[in-house]
Amino acid sequence: MTVFVASKYFEVPTRRHYRRLTLDKQGMTRKFWRSPGAHKYRKRRGCYIFGIKHGNRIVPTYVGKATKSFGQEIFQSHKRVDHYIPALRRRRNGVAAIIFLAHRYKKKPNISSIDKLETQLIQQAVRKKLELTNLRKTYLRELRIQAVFDFKKGRKPQGKANGTAMTLRRMFKF
């Protein structure tokens, strides 16, 4: 079984630029990895969620995976330019934050499990109509077994089910 451990959120250094938020370019990565507790995740692998914190709530804006290490992948220039900065510029208030979902492994990381987790997180965000900057994996498959389960909505459909539908629901515990 593949296990992922969620971290607490870590603040990403930002600054104000024309009344909007943007990333702090001066030593941002060094400041981030020196923050208390973040250094533990620098060489780990898994998925991460970049979001904006307002009060007690974090609104996710990008879901990514790190198959090499978080230190090598989360602050790549194309991610900053294409995902983080546009998400921050739409906001006036808040704090940029990252949450790590670190993969626990003994010998070798399971890269396919990391990819599946990223896909599931993106799909869940799309299902809940959250505004992600992700371009890939955002298409929801419109699969539905009539009167049994609607995979797009992630729940049982409304209405009466016949005997066969009830048998399928019981078989697969929908």
- Would you write out the chain's pLDDT as a tens digit for each of its 174 residues? 788 899 899 988 877 777 777 777 777 788 888 888 889 999 999 999 999 888 888 889 999 999 999 999 988 888 888 888 888 888 778 888 899 999 888 778 888 999 988 988 888 888 888 888 887 877 666 666 666 666 666 666 666 666 666 676 666 665
Q: Which two tokens stand for residue 36?
A: 């208390």
Nearest 5°: phi and psi at 25?
-80, -25
Return d(Cα 20, Cα 129) in angstroms, integer: 24
